[in-house]
Chain A
Amino acid sequence: MGDWMTVTDRGLSSESKTVSQYTSEIKMSPSSLYSQQVLCSSIPLSKNVHSFFSAFCTEDNIEQSISYLDQELTTFGFPSLYEESKGKETKRELNIVAVLNCMNELLVLQRKNLLAQENVETQNLKLGSDMDHLQSCYSKLKEQLETSRREMIGLQERDRQLQCKNRNLHQLLKNEKDEVQKLQNIIASRATQYNHDMKRKEREYNKLKERLHQLVMNKKDKKIAMDILNYVGRADGKRGSWRTGKTEARNEDEMYKILLNDYEYRQKQILMENAELKKVLQQMKKEMISLLSPQKKKPRERVDDSTGTVISDVEEDAGELSRESMWDLSCETVREQLTNSIRKQWRILKSHVEKLDNQVSKVHLEGFNDEDVISRQDHEQETEKLELEIQQCKEMIKTQQQLLQQQLATACDDDTTSLLRDCYLLEEKERLKEEWSLFKEQKKNFERERRSFTEAAIRLGLERKAFEEERASWLKQQFLNMTTFDHQNSENVKLFSAFSGSSDRDNLIVHSRQPQKKPHNVSNGSPVCMSKLTKSLPASPSTSDFCQTRSCVSEHSSINVLNMTPEEIKPNQVGGECTNQKWSVASRPGSQEGCYSGCSLTYTNSHVEKDDLP
């Protein structure tokens, strides 16, 4: 027992977990073991080795089970589990080594079997899928077969129909042919009938004619007669001759003569034509020879051995022909030679021309390709160059613009800006020029205005002088006579009214402008100036002062006018008042002041001029 125990221990250690598992199972459910044992013992399946093993052996039947196993194993060809018995009586001992070997072998077998099983299973799967596939294929093919069968039937049907139709058509054709034949027969029969009838009718007609002839002609019709004054001579002047055999013969002769003449004429014509053609032929031949002979050297050197020989033949022929002047011989003798030589030459010429054509086409193609490539390259290069240039130009422009903007930002000085603008684009320059001319014009206007103002100032000075004199006299008078004050006052008022002719109007204009101006600018330069002017006029109108203000204003305006586009200015020159509003809208906010001053100035100008005119 002790031995056995050790054996089991060993087995456990070698079999490790599986055994322990089974042992635990055994312990867990001892009741079920028996039934299993009975089952398995009766059916020793290799697959259920474990269960068999577990159920098979209990504490009680170790011996039997061992012997059973031994028997089983020996029957399967394993060595016996027992040691070789030394004596029959002695109880056979369990050979542990054999047991272990057997077990190992069994395990190996088991593993192999498992592997085999796996393989078989996978193969089975594979085969199953294959089977499925094949089945689907089969069904598909079956369907196809069905459809094709149906198609075939359809086609057969159609074929049958077509054949039927064809037969019908054939029948129809036959019928038509028959019809045609019938119709033709009818036509022919009709024609014969018609002809027959015609003949019959004609015969009748002829009979009638004959009868009529007899009736009409044989009766001595007195009416049939010619009433003539006198017979005239024949056109040829000859006398008429009797009809005899001789005349008949002569007529025949003449007829043949005419025919002969005609034939002769035609023969002559044909001969002439022939000669002409021969001439052409000869010339052509000569030209051909001359054309081909210079090339003769080259082709010979190159490739054309055959043609070269032919050419020489031809030349010989030509030489012969020209020597013997065979052209004048009748055609039959020369014909063959001539046609042969012409044919040969023609062949040579043809091949030559073809060769040339080929060469030309080749050259043409090559040339074309070359040109094409070059041109394309050129083109690309050119475009690249041009693009580069454009890029450069763009950069330049950009830098220039940047510079300009910088300078504009920094330089607020008028002169510099004008200078800068000078170096602006050409377009700008043009505009500037225009503006400059405009400005000049305006300047002229201003000058005129100034003149008028100076004149007015002079006048004012004079008046002032007179007034001063008057004042002096008045003062004197007042001084002298305090009682005559009233009279002097009224005179003074009169003077003012005479003055205010221009100033009033100016004020009026200023007022009329006021509603437009108010929202933008109230502290306008020019009205102030003007008001100053008007105010100062009666007070102390020193011309120098006036001029100063004018120049100041003109300076202002000149700058601001420059800012304006010619479109904005032009209408103003024509009719300032109506475009005034437009100005106010169009002008930049920065230059508003100047702008207004400018326009106001023009207003004043115009009005002043008006004043001056009368």
Chain B
Amino acid sequence: MNFSEVFKLSSLLCKFSPDGKYLASCVQYRLVVRDVNTLQILQLYTCLDQIQHIEWSADSLFILCAMYKRGLVQVWSLEQPEWHCKIDEGSAGLVASCWSPDGRHILNTTEFHLRITVWSLCTKSVSYIKYPKACLQGITFTRDGRYMALAERRDCKDYVSIFVCSDWQLLRHFDTDTQDLTGIEWAPNGCVLAVWDSCLEYKILLYSLDGRLLSAYRAYEWSLGIKSVAWSPSSQFLAVGSYDGKVRILNHVTWKMITEFGHPATINNPKIVVYKEAEKSPQLGLGCLSFPPPGAGAGPLPSSESKYEIASVPVSLQTLKPVTDRANPKIGIGMLAFSPDSYFLATRNDNIPNAVWVWDIQKLRLFAVLEQLSPVRTFQWDPQQPRLAICTGGSRLYLWSPAGCMSVQVPGEGDFAVLSLCWHLSGDSMALLSKDHVCLCFLETEASVSTACRQLGGPT
């Protein structure tokens, strides 16, 4: 495993282009585009203000930089550096901006969700979509980029509009049986739309592309409901994480629950491998006395090593006692992700923040649990193989694969606190983002990694 030198970064804005050739990163009001292989700067664009959001177009030809404070969006072309485009939303304000899948339209959401403006880069035409709903995930595109589903709110009722992305024609418009819709998500095959209600009610609705209600599922009543939803890449399963600390897997034939995965704080099953991250002070040479390191309580020291130990069952995981009288309590399944081959599901229970649970979807059972020393910030699957990268805001990167897991210290002066990470398309590298730096991590080939894992003592 190799690490590149660190580059400056602001607001964790760093993205690989969809074709995997470029890496865009922001430093204040500057946008830097580098070649992924050589890491040389290819282009450098200067925006009008500090950039708050960037997004690559699907064809990797354009990048949009949004400056919400100013209500501005600037678009840059990679092919023609002199080409420029500036969209000003004026007094309407701007809260969100995104590309349409064709890479020729930009959807800007104005302040207070008054409307969505669709700007075209090809024609002068500007379209407006009224009444978008202010919710967590109100816009979703199908994978093939043909359709867009949009959550709307009119007359205190939730609606979903399905647009054809090619000409922004409204294809379907239907009301949903929800109290307060929070999210919509297309299945990867683009034929089923999952719609879920706010956390006050456990309700998930499944609509066909033509607006038919396929099924509705409620696990329970009267309690806080859905917290996270994820489709399996095969569109076969829908994983629904809820505030009761369970993940329910729905199937695509009957849309009924196949199984539910609980996340108990103690693991008793001896078949489950529990990897526990253990910190080890650096090995001292002979004759060296082990002094207590200064400021040991401050956090993981960069000099200390960490490794995974296989804990013997029963294992009790560190739990967080949630404050129940506050909004958005830290309980329930907050993160869910299927591996690219749909064989594994990684979850995090928010009141056991240090643990990542990996479930075997083929056998529908728990496969492994990783307990970190500090709360898990993010995890992301390798786009090519079942390999999970985890970061906890410390200076280490954690990798899990069915062969085992390992922790890698990010080299460099001082602490490189990995706050976020994103995989490269090929799965050969990933970008590690800290508060104001980015660093690329190049992984070895599969064989060498697997041998390394075996050396680390993971089960084969």
Contact = CB atoms under 8 A, between A and B. Distances in A.
Contact of A258 (B89, B121, B146, B155): B146
Nearest to A222: B90
B88 interface: yes
Contacts of A221: 90-92
A212 B114 contact: yes
Q: Which of B82, B112, B126 has the most CB of A within 10 A?
A: B112
Contacts of A43: none
Interface string A223-261: 111111111111110001101000110011011101100
A226 B122 contact: no
Contacts of A248: 169
Contacts of B191: 258-259, 262
A202 B124 contact: no
A195 B179 contact: yes
Contacts of B86: 226-228
Nearest to A203: B156
Contact of B122 (A223, A227, A232, A247): A232
B175 interface: no
Contacts of A234: 102, 104, 122
Contact of B88 (A195, A223, A254, A255): A223
Interface string A211-227: 01100110001111111
B325 interface: no
B156 A230 contact: no
Interface string A386-429: 00000000000000000000000000000000000000000000
B258 interface: no
A206 B155 CA distance: 8
B169 A247 contact: yes
Nearest to A262: B191
B89 A229 contact: no
A226 B104 contact: no
Contacts of B164: 251, 254-255
Interface centre among A217, A255, A256, by most chain B C-beta atoms within 10 angstroms, is A255
A254 B146 CA distance: 10
Contacts of A255: 147, 164, 171, 209-210
Contacts of A522: none
Interface in A173-194: 187
Interface in B141-155: 146-147, 153, 155
A256 to B, nearest CB: 7
Nearest to B93: A216
B102 A235 contact: yes
A227 B130 CA distance: 23
Interface string B102-130: 11100000001011000101111110001
B208 interface: yes
B167 interface: yes
Given A209-B112, A241-B167, A259-B209, A223 B121 contact: no
Contacts of B156: 198-199, 202-203
* Interface size range on A against B: 35 or more
Given A213-B114, A216-B114, A229-B82, A235 B103 contact: yes
Contact of B83 (A187, A229, A251): A229
B265 interface: no
B190 interface: yes
A251 B114 contact: no
Given A216-B114, A234-B102, A240-B122, A252 B91 contact: no
A490 B396 CA distance: 105
A478 to B, nearest CB: 87
A189 B159 CA distance: 25
Contact of B190 (A198, A225, A258): A258
Contact of A251 (B85, B123, B130, B171): B171
B266 interface: no
A237 to B, nearest CB: 11
A240 B114 contact: no
A99 to B, nearest CB: 116
Contacts of A202: 153, 156
Given A199-B156, A231-B124, A259-B191, A217 B92 contact: yes
A372 B209 CA distance: 73
Contacts of A240: 122-123, 125, 167
B92 A259 contact: no
Contacts of A224: 88-92
Nearest to B192: A262
Nearest to A225: B88
Nearest to A221: B90
Interface in B428-457: none
A220 to B, nearest CB: 11
A95 B343 CA distance: 140
B87 interface: yes
A253 to B, nearest CB: 11
Contacts of B19: none
Interface string A95-110: 0000000000000000
Interface string B193-236: 00000000000000011100000000000100000000000000
Interface string B70-92: 00000001000011111111111
A73 B346 CA distance: 130
Nearest to B168: A243
A584 to B, nearest CB: 53
B119 to A, nearest CB: 6
A47 B201 CA distance: 114
B189 interface: yes
B232 to A, nearest CB: 15
A226 B108 CA distance: 12
A169 B317 CA distance: 40
Contacts of B89: 223-224
B59 interface: yes
Contacts of B121: 228, 231-232
A218 to B, nearest CB: 12
Given A224-B88, A230-B83, A248-B169, A212 B112 contact: yes
B102 A226 contact: no
B92 A243 contact: no
A231 B167 contact: no
A201 to B, nearest CB: 9
A252 B83 contact: no
Contact of B209 (A213, A228, A229, A258): A258
A212 to B, nearest CB: 6
Contacts of B77: 232
A228 to B, nearest CB: 4
A199 B91 CA distance: 27
Interface in A104-120: none
A236 B59 CA distance: 11
A231 B171 contact: no
A19 to B, nearest CB: 111
B59 A213 contact: no
A247 B153 CA distance: 27
B88 A213 contact: no
A228 B106 CA distance: 13
B222 A187 contact: yes
A248 to B, nearest CB: 6
A228 B85 contact: yes
Given A221-B90, A234-B102, 15 more contacts: A212-B112, A213-B130, A216-B114, A221-B91, A224-B88, A224-B92, A225-B88, A226-B87, A228-B84, A231-B123, A235-B104, A236-B102, A248-B169, A251-B167, A262-B189
25 contacts: A198-B156, A212-B112, A213-B130, A216-B90, A221-B91, A221-B92, A223-B90, A223-B91, A224-B92, A226-B86, A227-B87, A228-B121, A231-B121, A231-B122, A231-B124, A232-B77, A235-B58, A235-B103, A240-B122, A243-B169, A247-B169, A251-B164, A251-B167, A259-B208, A262-B191
Please name the 8 residue pairs, one residue from A and one from B, whose CB atoms are nearest each other, closest first.
A223-B90, A224-B90, A228-B85, A262-B191, A227-B86, A199-B156, A221-B90, A251-B164
Interface of A: 187, 195, 198-199, 202-203, 206, 209, 212-213, 216-217, 221-236, 240-241, 243, 247-248, 251-252, 254-256, 258-259, 262
